[in-house]
Amino acid sequence: MKLAGQSNAVIYTVGIFQAEDKERNLGVLKDLAQATAAKPFCPEELPEVTAICERIARDIRHQYTIAYEPINMAHDGAYHAIRVVARAKGHRGGFAVRTRTGYIASGEPRRDEKNAP
């Protein structure tokens, strides 16, 4: 889960279980999808899977990538929460925004940061 949250991957989960399967753990699928700013799916019937795959494909085609550069550039390994809000002038309806809830400031500084004064 930690590696998924640190990666740039967006992981959509689809839980397909037999009706009598009492041991299914939907929480893990939900957590994995949400950790990567995706959406979990758990169809009740097998024919729903096609529509779910079409929805995932549509979501992927309509995604935007935004960049964020924090004021605090420390690579301290700490978790930093973020929140993204989308607004448009004259648009009364809300926008659906799915993002990660934060990031871990770890790893090596970028090359341009190493040479900074």
pTM: predicted TM-score of the whole model, two decimal places? 0.62
Q: State both tokens at 14.
A: 């689809």
Q: Helix/strand/coil (H, E, C) string of 67-91?
A: CCCCCCCCCCCCEEECCCCCCCCCC
Per residue of the chain (117 residues), what is the pLDDT tens digit? 878 877 778 899 999 887 677 567 788 899 999 888 888 999 988 899 999 999 999 988 888 777 777 877 777 878 888 888 887 787 776 677 777 778 777 766 555 555 454
CA proximity to 68, closest of 37, 43, 100, 40: 100
81 has which bridge partners? 102
Q: Can you give the pLDDT at residue 14? A: 93
